[in-house]
């Protein structure tokens, strides 16, 4: 069975496939198609890039569908960048086995107005949101948020000088700690894999505004030094939120929900991600989970035991695991990154690749005995990566240091988070 994995960036889910006992026993093979075609994607199967292999100048779901039509595959699974387009889901899955949510389920997951109403009626906190708002925003802090984006891309502060753009909703800004829950579902029930802290807009990683730049697991509610994971009360409320969404949308396989943890310790629902999410590979690293196997089993109606949820608190061995996307501080050109994978770096670019300022360079992985220690380790690794280009001779040593460093005028492409 040949599986096509398709979306904006497939490396994380592709690696989960490559390390899956279930996929190996079933004798599946993998071909991935995304915007980057990162070099480490080749470790797990055939890795194809829209630009390098198909000549597309920029990322687009339409480009993915066109390229997929030229690939031989039996089954398809999609990641970010496709879930907002039910029509593309239908195109790439026509006549194929779909491992994931149907176009109808994905569309339901992006029906913000209906989901907010259902969740609010069930006692779940949701931010005040207006659709088709005309004129200046009401008093207070408001955001303009695109109805079909991901990774925090396109979110801007609302202004009296500018009405909400077409395709945007206006949402009240709420204080809270960004978080996410990962779960597997069978269409009506779900098993929660874990809760994570989301890293958004952190300047030390080159991210701006509300742009997604990483995760840390487990989610701590005990401050930055946090020595324990989320409280039982929070987990119960998150589980209720997940149940409502799964039953309303009929979600299957791996899915995620973004939410805020308020000062009172309650979850405030933000949005559903009806597909594999970037945070999920951390659960494989922390607990050795076969994430692709869980996805495949759930798509076939089989959920893991609830003990998987309990392991979120006890199964990390007292450590915190994190990942962070490194964004380019200026135009960069890759010389030699062949040693990066062995140093805990993922989404490794190809030699000679031009990376424009603000675009993602790679993903760094780290762990620590506290949340702060984990974040600091991520920051140190990010500094090492940038040092490979700018040559400031920081603490990272000489591993992978390119012989040639220069800046380039690169074509601006889609730079949303992976």
Cβ–Cβ < 8 Å for 109, 183 = no
pLDDT at 345: 97
pLDDT at 209: 83
Alpha carbon distances (Å) from 2 to 14, 65, 134, 147, 184? 13, 17, 49, 33, 23
**In whole angstroms, what is the distance from residue 208 CA to residue 152 CA?**
10
pLDDT at 399: 32
**In whole angstroms, what is the distance from residue 325 CA to residue 212 CA?**
8
**What architecture (CATH level 2) is domain 2-99?**
3-Layer(aba) Sandwich (3.40)
pLDDT at 146: 87
pLDDT at 277: 97
- Grouping H, G, I as helix, E, B as strand and the rest as coil, residue 41 is helix
CATH 3.40.710.10, applies to 175-318: no
Identify the CA nearest to 362 among candidates 372, 370, 350, 371: 350
pLDDT at 316: 62
pLDDT at 232: 83
User: What DSSP element (H or E) covers 325?
Assistant: strand 320-327
pLDDT at 229: 59
pLDDT at 88: 98
Residues of the chain with CATH 3.40.50.20: 2-99
For residue range 275-325, what is the model confidence (pLDDT) as tens digits? 999 999 999 999 999 999 999 999 999 999 876 666 555 556 679 999 999
Residues of the chain with CATH 3.30.470.20: 175-318
pLDDT at 223: 52
For residue range 234-244, what is the model confidence (pLDDT) as tens digits? 999 999 999 99
Neighbour-count burial of 163, counting CB atoms closer than 10 A to its CB (0-12 exposed, 13-18 middle, 19+ buried): middle
Residues found in the chain: 418
Cβ–Cβ < 8 Å for 73, 16 = no
Q: Which residues of the chain have pLDDT under 70?
A: 57, 222-230, 307-317, 392-418
**In whole angstroms, what is the distance from residue 40 CA to residue 54 CA?**
19
Alpha carbon distances (Å) from 325 to 61, 63, 280, 333, 417? 22, 24, 14, 17, 8
pLDDT at 343: 95
pLDDT at 278: 95
Identify the CA nearest to 49 among candidates 38, 62, 60: 38
Unique residue bearing structure tokens 């089989």: 302
Numbers of helices and strands, H then E, in the chain: 12, 19
pLDDT at 311: 57
Q: What share of the chain is helix, strand, coil (3-state, %, to 5)?
A: 30, 25, 45
Alpha carbon distances (Å) from 17 to 3, 39, 99, 158, 370? 10, 16, 12, 41, 29
pLDDT at 391: 72
pLDDT at 411: 25
């Amino acid at each position: 069975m040949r599986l096509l994995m398709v979306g904006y960036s497939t490396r994380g889910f592709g690696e989960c496939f490559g390390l899956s006992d279930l996929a190996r026993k079933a004798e599946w093979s993998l071909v991935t198609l995304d915007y980057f075609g990162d070099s480490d994607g080749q470790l797990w199967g055939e890795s194809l890039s829209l630009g390098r292999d198909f000549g597309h100048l920029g990322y687009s779901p339409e480009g993915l569908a066109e390229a997929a039509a030229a690939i031989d595959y039996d089954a398809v699974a999609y990641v970010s960048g496709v879930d907002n387009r039910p029509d593309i889901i239908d195109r790439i899955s026509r006549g194929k086995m779909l491992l994931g949510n149907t176009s109808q389920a994905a569309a339901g997951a992006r029906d913000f107005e209906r989901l907010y109403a259902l969740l609010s009626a069930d006692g779940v906190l949701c931010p005040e949101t207006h659709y088709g708002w005309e004129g200046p925003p009401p008093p207070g802090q408001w955001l303009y948020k695109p109805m079909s984006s991901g990774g925090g891309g396109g979110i801007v502060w609302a202004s009296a000088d500018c009405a909400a753009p077409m395709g945007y909703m206006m949402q009240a800004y709420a204080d809270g700690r960004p978080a996410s829950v990962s779960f597997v579902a069978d269409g009506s029930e779900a098993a929660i894999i874990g809760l994570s802290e989301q890293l958004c807009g952190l300047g030390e990683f080159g991210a701006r505004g509300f742009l997604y730049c990483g995760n840390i697991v487990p989610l701590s509610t005990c401050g930055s030094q946090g020595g324990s994971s989320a409280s039982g009360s929070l987990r119960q409320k998150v589980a209720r939120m997940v149940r409502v969404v799964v039953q309303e949308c009929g979600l299957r396989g791996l899915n995620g929900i973004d939410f805020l943890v308020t000062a009172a310790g309650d979850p405030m629902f933000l949005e559903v991600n009806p597909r594999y999410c970037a945070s999920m590979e951390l659960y494989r690293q922390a607990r050795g989970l076969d994430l692709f196997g869980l996805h495949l089993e759930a798509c076939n109606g089989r959920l893991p035991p609830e003990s998987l949820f309990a392991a979120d608190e006890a199964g990390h061995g007292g450590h915190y695991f994190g990942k962070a996307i490194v964004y380019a501080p200026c135009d960069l050109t890759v010389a030699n990154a062949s040693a990066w994978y062995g140093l805990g770096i993922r989404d490794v670019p190809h030699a000679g690749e031009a990376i424009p300022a603000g675009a993602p360079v790679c993903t760094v992985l780290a762990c620590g005995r506290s949340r702060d220690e984990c974040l600091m380790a991520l920051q140190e690794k990010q500094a090492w990566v940038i040092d490979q280009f700018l040559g400031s001779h920081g603490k990272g040593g000489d591993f992978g240091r390119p012989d040639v460093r220069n800046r380039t005028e690169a074509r601006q492409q889609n730079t949303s988070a992976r």
